[in-house]
Amino acid sequence: MKVYICADIEGVAGVVTPQQCQAGNPEYERARVLMTEEVNAAIAGARDAGAEEILVNDAHGPMTNLLPDRLDREAVVIQGKPKRFGMFAGLTAGFDMIFGVGFHAPASGFGVLAHTTSTAAFRSVRVGDALLSEASLYGAYAGELGVPVGMVSGDDACAAHVATVFPEAERVVVKTGLGNRAAAALHPEVAREMIRAGAARALARRAEIRPLALPTSETLTLDFVGAAQADLVATIPVARRLDATRVALPIASAADAVGWVNVASAMAASLR
Ligand SMILES: [Zn+2]
């Protein structure tokens, strides 16, 4: 069996502030250790259930957060950016399951450090009327490849969101949000034990866990934090301006949606 692990940081036990998620802060150096160890727990769970091949993708910010020499030596890790298909770069139809570690709730809702791709760019990301999270955006892309998301760890708001998108997936709650930047968290070792068990359970239940099918032959609507960001993204020839902060882009697949979200995020970052 082949398992793909997408690693983010906002949903890791013990992480509650933006400073913990950004290089250059002493708190970040500790948070990336916590992140790396939660990924190790997911790798251990995958191996407990019989996985032979494990690919980890470092998926937060500059995508160079995981400490390679501290990662389980059985896994291969992708780091750095830009990379095609961002958070799910390197995923192919040959994988049996995806685990999301350190995940978080979507922008414009409750949840510890809730955002979608970039806090500085998007107020919300929608396909049709559906509010997308990173989990559902990328989960839908994985669904097009026929690969299910089997386990997601993060806070309680992330779990509540995941329950609506992938009801069959294992949800591991490592902290309960008291706000956007406050949470009651499990001890990191307890969180890791739960992630390891959740990962193994997901693989054992793989026959029941289906790939996500999201109707994506609609319009992708990006609501930007600033009107200048919308001005810039509206210069894409196929873009349609909806109002001061919203731009619509045509998509024929979730893969298209992933591509546009990453292009628009990078463009918006140039106006920070
Ligand atoms: Zn992140």
The whole model's pTM is what?
0.97
Ligand 1 center to 93 CA (angstroms): 24
Specify the pLDDT at position 53: 98
Q: How far is the CA of 132 from the centre of ligand 1 (A)?
A: 15
Give 200's contacts (C-beta < 8 A, 6+ positions apart): 45, 46, 48, 49
Q: How far, in Å, is the centroid of ligand 1 from the Cα of 133?
A: 12
Hey, what amino acid is at 67?
A: L
Residues for the chain: how many in total?
Answer: 272
pLDDT along the chain (272 residues), means of 10: 98 98 97 98 98 98 97 97 97 98 95 94 93 95 97 98 95 98 98 98 97 83 97 98 98 95 95 82
For the residues of 99-110, what is the DSSP string, one character each? EEEEE-PPTTSS
State how far the Cα of 165 lies from the Cα of 146, in Å rounded to an integer: 16
Span from the CA of 116 to the centroid of ligand 1 (angstroms):
9
pLDDT value for 217: 65
Cβ within 8 Å of residue 43, ≥6 positions away? 5, 54, 56, 71, 72, 74, 75
- Position 214 scores a pLDDT of 79
Cα 90 to ligand 1 centroid, rounded to whole Å: 18
Ligand 1: distance of its center to the CA of 13 in Å?
A: 14
CA 207, CA 202: separation in Å to the nearest integer?
Answer: 9
Helix, strand, coil share of the chain (percent; to 5):
35, 25, 40
Distance of CA 62 to CAs 51, 102, 201, 216, Å?
Answer: 28, 16, 31, 28
9 Cα–ligand 1 center, Å: 5
